[in-house]
C-alpha cells in the first residue's frame, strides 16, 4: 500500500435520527480509544452532521456528508452547499454514490461540479465509481471506470486533487451481500491507479487512496486490505452498528 494511510469510511445513508447518530458515535468513540493507525470517517444524514461533528471533534473520528450541491447558496430548495457542510464540522464528502446516480440523477458532469465545490471548500471528496452487474457481465468494467474517472475529474490539475479519495464500488456489490473477490477489487483498483498515472502523473496517482466498497464486513475486510492497491473501505450496512464497524476498523492484514 506504499505510504498511503488506510481510511475506513462509514456511509450511514438514510439511517439514524440525530439522537441515534449521536449515540452510535459516542459508542464508537469509546471503542476506538486505542486505534491510531487508520483514518476513520462516518457520514451520517445531514440532520445529524453538526451534532455528530461536535462530539467527534478532536477525536480519531472525522465526519463527512453524503452529498452536496455545488452552488454556494441560493434558491435551491432542499439542497445543501459545501460551505454549509464545512461549517457543520465536516472534513469529507461522499460524491457520486451509485444510489445518487441511480435515484437522484447524478451524472458524471454533476459529479465533476460537486467535486470542484468540495475542493474549493477544503472538503475531501470521496469520489465513487463502479460498474453495474450488466456492465461487468458484458466486460465493460474498465471502459465504465475509464469514462467515470475521465469525466468526473475533467479540468482538474494534480494540485486540485491532492486530497482526493476514490471509492471503487461495483454497483452489484452494494447492499447485496455479494462482495467483489480480492482479485476483482485489486484489478479494478490497479486499473484506476493506472488511469490516474496517465492523467495526473505518478506522484499524485501513488498518493491517492482508493477505497473498496460493496458488502464489506468484519469477515472480508482483512483479505481486501491485503491487496496492494486497496487503501481502505467505504462501508454501508456494516457501519451502522458501532461494534461491527470497530471490527472492520481493526482489520489485520
Ligand atoms: C455503500 O453504501 O457505499 C456500501 C458499500 O454499502 P454496503 O456496504 O451496505 O454494501
> What is the rounded average pLDDT of the residues 1-27?
94
209-213 and 61-65 beta bridge pairing? unpaired
Q: pLDDT at position 35, please?
A: 62
Mutate to test the pocket of ligand 1, among 13, 127, 213 (most ligand atoms within 8 A of CB): 213
What whole-number distance in Å separates Cα of residue 85 and Cα of residue 62?
13
pLDDT at 216 over 90: yes
Q: HSE-up of 152 (CA within 13 Å, CB side)?
A: 30
Is 189 among the catalytic positions?
no
161, HSE (Cβ side, Cα atoms, 13 Å): 26
CA-closest candidate to residue 156, choices 208, 115, 109: 115
Determine whether the shortest distance from the Cβ of 237 to ligand 1 is under 6 A.
Answer: yes
Assess whether pLDDT exceeds 60 at residue 1. Answer: no
Structural domain boundaries, residue 234: 7-249
- Nearest ligand 1 atom, CA 237: 9
| DSSP-based helix, strand, coil % in the chain, nearest 5 | 45, 15, 40
Average pLDDT over residues 105-131: 98
Residue 53 within a domain: yes
Give the global pTM.
0.97
Q: Is residue 1 part of a domain?
A: no
Residue 83, all three cell numbers: 460551505
Clarify whether 97 is annotated catalytic: yes
- Which pLDDT belongs to residue 37? 86
Residue 206 lies in a domain: yes
Q: What pLDDT shows up at residue 3? A: 83
In a domain, 84, yes or no: yes
Closest-CA residue, ligand 1 atom 8, reads 236
Across the range 123-152, mean pLDDT stands at 98
What is the pLDDT averaged over residues 94-119?
98
Establish whether residue 214 lines the binding site of ligand 1, counting it when its CB lies within 6 angstroms of any ligand atom. Answer: yes
Residue nearest to atom 3 of ligand 1 (CA): 236
Top mutation candidate among 12, 97, 234, 244 for ligand 1, by most atoms within 8 Å of CB: 234
List phi, psi (to 5°) of 81.
-95, 165
Annotated catalytic residue: which of 99, 131, 135, 169?
Answer: 169
Residues 6+ apart with CB under 8 A from 22: 48, 51, 52, 55
- For all residues of the chain together, what is the average pLDDT? 96
Q: Are 41 and 62 spatial neighbours (Cβ–Cβ below 8 Å)?
A: yes
Distance between CA atoms of residues 220 and 173, nearest Å: 13
Question: Atom of ligand 1 at shortest distance to CA of 98?
Answer: 3
CA distance linking residue 7 with residue 102, whole number of Å: 25
Phi then psi for residue 156, to 5 deg, are -95, 150
Q: What are phi and psi of 9, to 5 degrees?
A: -115, 135
Ligand 1, residue 217: give the atom nearest the CA: 8
Whichever domain contains 64, its CATH number is 3.20.20.70
Closest to 55 in 3D by CA, of 29, 86, 83: 29
- Is 2 inside any structural domain? no
For residues 31 and 61, the answer to whether their CB atoms sit within 8 Å is no
Q: What is the pLDDT of residues 197-212, one digit of tens each?
A: 999 999 999 999 999 9
- pLDDT on residue 252: 82
Q: Which three cell numbers stand for residue 210?
A: 482508493
DSSP H helical ranges for the chain: 18-31, 49-56, 82-87, 98-103, 108-120, 133-137, 141-152, 182-200, 202-207, 221-225, 242-249
Of 175 and 223, more confident: 223
Q: What is the pLDDT of residues 32-57, one digit of tens each?
A: 967 678 999 999 999 999 999 999 99
Q: Give, as one character, the DSSP assignment of residue 68.
A: -
pLDDT reading at 253 higher than 80: no
pLDDT-derived band at 83 (thresholds 50, 70, 90) equals very high
CA–centroid distance, residue 222 to ligand 1 (Å): 17
**What atom of ligand 1 comes closest to residue 13's alpha carbon?**
2
What is the pLDDT confidence band of residue 2, given thresholds at 50, 70 and 90?
A: low
Number of domains in the chain: 1
Amino acid at each position: 500500500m506504499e505510504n498511503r494511510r488506510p481510511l475506513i469510511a462509514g456511509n450511514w445513508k438514510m439511517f439514524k435520527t440525530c439522537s441515534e447518530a449521536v449515540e452510535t458515535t459516542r459508542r464508537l468513540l469509546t471503542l476506538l480509544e486505542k486505534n491510531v493507525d487508520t483514518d476513520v470517517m462516518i457520514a451520517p444524514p445531514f440532520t445529524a452532521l453538526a451534532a455528530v461533528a461536535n462530539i467527534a471533534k478532536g477525536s480519531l473520528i472525522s465526519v463527512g456528508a453524503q452529498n452536496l450541491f455545488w452552488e454556494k447558496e441560493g434558491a435551491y430548495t432542499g439542497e445543501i452547499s459545501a460551505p454549509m457542510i464545512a461549517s457543520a464540522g465536516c472534513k469529507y464528502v461522499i460524491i457520486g454514490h451509485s444510489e445518487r446516480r441511480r435515484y437522484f440523477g447524478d451524472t458524471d458532469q454533476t459529479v465533476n461540479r460537486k467535486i470542484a465545490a468540495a475542493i474549493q471548500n477544503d472538503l475531501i471528496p470521496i469520489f465513487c465509481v463502479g460498474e453495474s452487474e450488466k456492465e461487468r457481465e458484458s466486460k465493460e468494467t474498465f471502459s465504465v471506470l475509464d469514462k467515470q474517472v475521465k469525466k468526473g475529474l475533467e479540468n482538474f490539475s494534480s494540485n486540485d486533487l491532492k486530497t482526493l479519495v476514490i471509492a471503487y464500488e461495483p454497483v452489484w456489490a452494494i447492499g447485496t451481500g455479494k462482495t467483489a473477490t480480492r482479485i476483482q477489487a485489486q484489478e479494478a483498483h490497479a486499473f484506476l491507479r493506472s488511469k490516474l498515472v496517465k492523467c495526473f502523473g505518478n506522484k499524485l496517482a501513488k498518493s491517492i487512496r482508493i477505497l473498496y466498497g460493496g458488502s464489506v464486513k468484519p469477515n472480508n475486510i482483512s483479505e481486501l486490505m491485503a491487496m496492494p492497491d486497496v487503501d481502505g473501505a467505504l462501508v454501508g450496512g456494516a457501519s451502522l452498528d458501532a461494534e461491527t464497524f470497530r471490527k472492520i476498523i481493526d482489520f489485520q492484514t
